Amino acid sequence: MAIYRADTSHGVCWITGGGTGIGRQVALDLARAGWTVAVSSRVEDPIEPVVKAAAGLTGKILPFYCDVTDEAAMAATVDAIETQAGPITLAIFNAGVYLPVHAEALSMANFRGTYAVNLFGVLNGLVPTVARMQTRTRGHIVLVGSVTAYFGWPTLAAYGATKAALNNMAEALRYDFEKMNIRIQVINPGFVDTPLAAKNTHMMPYLMSVEDASARIVRAIGKGGYETTFPRRLTWGLKFMRMWPHSARFAFMNFATRWRGYPLMPGRKRE
């Protein structure tokens, strides 16, 4: 039997980090397709314009304010969305941060901050949402990962590790979710032109617009395939590189990023 695929007539979509970047555009595109979209963000400023931008679309956007690192607040947000708007049939865990890691200034705060949002922030939403989906015997979950999950990149020791963890976790959960009629998908985008990507001062090959990325994500949700990664001209190459011996990959990444040309900066301030 095919696993459940979310439909606008069954309930609402919840997207975290929907006030900016990819999340904002996906929220608007889903509202255009008729979805009622609960958008959560920490602050009011970025969400109010999204609500306004959705005026006139077939669906609508409802704002909720919540920090994904706050476990109790995330459970309360699930409750608030379901009370005000209806059952969450599609949950997109998209909120994420990129804090560059420089090995000469390793800091626990950096790793804790990244894991708190990118991994535990997802779990804070996933756990209460899945509990509800389980009682309804259907649901659809989407995790936003990254191609940086495939192998280590300079400065991405924390970010890439959280995205690899998300990929592994989703794959492991899928076996039981299938029995629970809950679909889980992972979207691993390449580089997308957003405030998060703007923090990366190094190479971003095949940088895409948020509009293009969102169109691909919305299409992927409709199709329901387990992993979606784009653009192919970048991501198929990266998947191939995953099979290389480490020595070849280190050599290629050093060459492609010109990383050996970046000096260490002893005394660099710890973040």
Ligand X SMILES: NC(=O)c1ccc[n+]([C@@H]2O[C@H](COP(=O)([O-])OP(=O)(O)OC[C@H]3O[C@@H](n4cnc5c(N)ncnc54)[C@H](OP(=O)(O)O)[C@@H]3O)[C@@H](O)[C@H]2O)c1
Give the residues lining the site for ligand X (CB under 6 A).
Answer: 16-17, 19-23, 41-43, 46, 67-69, 94-97, 117, 121, 144, 146, 189, 191-192, 194-197
The nearest distance, CB 160 to ligand X, in angstroms, is 10
Q: How far is the C-alpha of 241 from the C-alpha of 103, rounded, in Å?
A: 24
Q: Among residues 4 and 188, whose Cβ is nearest to ligand X?
A: 188
| Strand arrangement of the beta sheet that strand 227-230 belongs to | 60-65, 36-41, 12-16, 88-93, 139-144, 182-189, 227-230
Backbone angles phi, psi at 203, to 5 degrees: -65, 140
The nearest distance, CB 240 to ligand X, in angstroms, is 19
Q: How far is the C-alpha of 25 from the C-alpha of 2, rounded, in Å?
A: 29
The nearest distance, CB 143 to ligand X, in angstroms, is 9
Q: Among residues 185 and 194, whose Cβ is nearest to ligand X?
A: 194
Q: State the DSSP H helix or E strand holding residue 120, giving kind and residue range, or none if neither.
A: helix 120-136
Q: How far is the C-alpha of 260 from the C-alpha of 169, rounded, in Å?
A: 33
The nearest distance, CB 10 to ligand X, in angstroms, is 25
The nearest distance, CB 269 to ligand X, in angstroms, is 22
DSSP 173-186: HHHHHHHTTEEEEE
Q: Among residues 22 and 90, whose Cβ is nearest to ligand X?
A: 22
CB-based contacts of 183: which residues, under 8 Å, 6+ apart? 3, 4, 5, 6, 139, 140, 141, 177, 224
Q: Among residues 133 and 192, whose Cβ is nearest to ligand X?
A: 192
Q: Among residues 7 and 195, whose Cβ is nearest to ligand X?
A: 195
